[in-house]
Amino acid sequence: MNLLPLSVSGRPLLTPVILLLVALMGSGNHTYGQELRHEGPGTFLTRASAMRLAYSKPFAGEIEGSHENPQGKIEELAATFDGDVLTLSGRLSTAYPVHGVAAYNDPEHPRGDYDAVGFTADVDDQGRFELKISELRPGACELRLFGCLTTGGTARWAYQYQVNEKGEPTLNAFARPSP
């Protein structure tokens, strides 16, 4: 399996190699190991998926607090748009430390998660993050944010928003998470 970053500073890193590979946590379960069997280019793990798996039991072992329901809130959330990048910044407040934010931007059409694009952001010691989302497509979208805790769990928030024909998102949609 190939481990390649999908984004640098929130912008997608598209190289000819990545364009040939399939993300493992998407439809990559069908292509896993192809490169070893000389049947195809193979599969890679996105940064967003790797961030969610980093503290999971198979990789990190038994972790204190791993059996508790991860809860938290996003405070001081601000959304801005500059040219072609939506930036969300805020502070995560959780019972356990957060090592990063994984986000999936999922257009309404076509249905399903396979077309969701993943993005990541680091979280500082105070829980602050700045997440940059690009590749916005016109129409209805859902942005799912996961605060990745050092216990292996994730606190989740979802935001429904629209992108107009000019590629501009509705920023007021990020005032509070969708139910």
What confidence tens digit (pLDDT) does each residue in 111-121 have? 666 668 889 99
Sign of the Cα pseudo-torsion (24, 28, 30, 33, in order): negative
Are 117 and 166 in contact by the 8 Å Cβ rule? The answer is no
Q: Count the helix, strand and coil residues of the chain and give each as a percent rounded to the nearest 5.
A: 15, 45, 40
Rounded to two decimals, the pTM is: 0.74
Q: Mapping DSSP to helix (H, G, I), strand (E, B) and coil, where does residue 132 land?
A: strand
Residues in the chain, how many? 179
Mean pLDDT taken over the chain:
80
Range scoring the smallest mean pLDDT among 14-18, 39-43, 109-113, 124-128: 14-18
Q: Mapping DSSP to helix (H, G, I), strand (E, B) and coil, where does residue 10 land?
A: coil
Q: CATH number for the 61-175 domain, one of 1.10.760.10, 2.60.40.10, 3.30.1300.30, 3.20.20.70?
A: 2.60.40.10
pLDDT digits (tens, 9 = 90+) for 123-172: 999 999 999 999 999 999 999 999 998 888 889 999 999 999 999 999 99
Are 32 and 43 in contact by the 8 Å Cβ rule? The answer is yes
Q: What is the pLDDT of residue 2?
A: 37
Locate tokens 């309404």: which residue? 108
Q: Mapping DSSP to helix (H, G, I), strand (E, B) and coil, where does residue 172 land?
A: helix
171: DSSP letter: G
Domain ranges for the chain: 1-45, 61-175
